[in-house]
């Protein structure tokens, strides 16, 4: 079990932010979870510790948004995401974590900047299933490696300009399936050892607190503010990930 007090400080902040994201304030900001914890432990250990907490949050969030999701999008995204997680398993340990961070950062920055460029208010851009397949694979792949599947998923969903509740519910179902599909591979890879699981159990009580906070915030902001916050968060995350790779790393 991790016994560094600095880890628990970083992990408490990380888990609460992830809970708020899953509870309703934009799933993309959940990508900060592993980087925050990885300031004290390795990225691989941070991902292993965070997964059981993510799974618990997914169950709570699924109950909160039951029946509000967009099944048409999920039919395209979920099979592709499972292919992405399989690719993550097959390439585990052979790809640079920094390379993954750069990829996620570029996706986050491109879609954050695109959102703030001038265009007609409320304009929705059509999406094609083949595009959804590509983003779904990328989201599953980056989610398996560093729990950073949010930006690729949002890259596909956000241009559709759906309501914030449908957007959030669709994201919740997507990550419920993706995160629970990682259990077998994580066990097989030895990621779920006794020390990591015990550390997860210490942090687990923070999960419902984060979900509750996110749900409260979700009910109190309008659509325009909600999506501005999500895209602004994507921009900050992209800059942070690039900084970690290019400067801090």
Reported as a pLDDT band with limits 50, 70 and 90, residue 240 is confident
C-alpha–C-alpha distance, residues 70 and 29, integer Å:
21
**What local confidence, expressed as pLDDT, does residue 249 receive?**
57
DSSP-H helix ranges across 91-222? 97-116, 129-146, 150-157, 164-181, 183-188, 194-203, 206-220
C-alpha–C-alpha distance, residues 22 and 244, integer Å:
24
Contacts of 5 (CB under 8 A, 6+ apart): none
Token output for 233: 């968060």
Rg, C-alpha atoms of the chain = 17
**What local confidence, expressed as pLDDT, does residue 177 receive?**
95
Token output for 58: 């997914």
Average pLDDT in the chain = 81
Using alpha carbons, select from 178, 148, 205 the residue that is nearest to residue 33: 148
Task: Say if CB 158 and CB 115 are below 8 A apart.
Answer: yes
**What local confidence, expressed as pLDDT, does residue 27 receive?**
57
**What local confidence, expressed as pLDDT, does residue 134 receive?**
92
**What local confidence, expressed as pLDDT, does residue 163 receive?**
84
Least confident of 1-5, 73-77, 245-249: 245-249
Least confident of 34-43, 160-169, 212-221: 34-43
C-alpha–C-alpha distance, residues 234 and 107, integer Å:
9
> What does DSSP assign to residue 30?
G
Q: Is the pLDDT of residue 30 over 60?
A: yes
Average confidence (pLDDT) over 102-115: 72
Reported as a pLDDT band with limits 50, 70 and 90, residue 75 is very high
Task: Say if CB 232 and CB 28 are below 8 A apart.
Answer: no
Q: Is the pLDDT of residue 105 over 80?
A: no
Token output for 236: 């900050």
Position with higher pLDDT, 249 vs 52: 52
C-alpha–C-alpha distance, residues 159 and 126, integer Å:
7
Average confidence (pLDDT) over 102-121: 69
pLDDT in tens, 123-169: 555 567 788 899 999 999 988 877 778 878 888 888 888 888 898 89
Cα separation values, 221 from 13, 68, 235, Å: 22, 18, 20
**CB count, 10 Å around CB of 234?**
28
pLDDT in tens, 56-72: 988 988 988 898 899 99
Token output for 121: 């208010």
Torsion of CA 80, 85, 87, 90, to 10 degrees: -160
C-alpha–C-alpha distance, residues 157 and 170, integer Å:
9
* Chain length of the chain: 249
Reported as a pLDDT band with limits 50, 70 and 90, residue 119 is low
Domain coordinates of the chain in residue numbers? 5-248
Q: Is the pLDDT of residue 32 over 80?
A: no
Position with higher pLDDT, 119 vs 200: 200
């Amino acid at each position: 079990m991790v016994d560094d007090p600095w880890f628990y400080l970083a992990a408490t902040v990380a888990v609460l932010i992830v809970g708020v994201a899953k509870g309703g304030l934009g799933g993309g900001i959940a990508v900060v979870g592993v980087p925050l914890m990885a300031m004290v432990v390795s990225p691989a250990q941070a991902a292993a510790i965070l997964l059981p907490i993510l799974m618990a949050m997914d169950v709570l969030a699924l109950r909160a948004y039951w029946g509000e999701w967009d099944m048409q999008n999920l039919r395209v995204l979920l099979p592709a995401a499972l292919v992405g997680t399989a690719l993550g398993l097959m390439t585990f340990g052979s790809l640079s974590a920094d390379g993954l961070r750069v990829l996620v950062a570029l996706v986050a920055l491109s879609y954050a900047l695109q959102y703030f460029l001038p265009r007609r208010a409320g304009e929705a851009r059509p999406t094609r299933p083949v595009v959804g397949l590509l983003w779904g694979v990328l989201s599953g792949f980056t989610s398996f490696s560093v729990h950073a599947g949010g930006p690729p998923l949002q890259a596909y969903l956000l241009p559709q300009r759906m309501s914030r509740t449908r957007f959030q519910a669709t994201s919740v179902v997507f990550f419920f399936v993706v995160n629970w599909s990682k259990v077998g591979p994580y066990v097989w890879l030895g990621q779920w050892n006794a020390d990591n699981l015990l550390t997860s159990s210490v942090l687990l009580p923070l999960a419902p607190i984060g979900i509750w906070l996110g749900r409260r915030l979700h009910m109190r902001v309008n659509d325009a503010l909600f999506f501005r916050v999500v895209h602004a968060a994507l921009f900050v995350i992209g800059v942070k990930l690039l900084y970690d790779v290019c400067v801090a790393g």
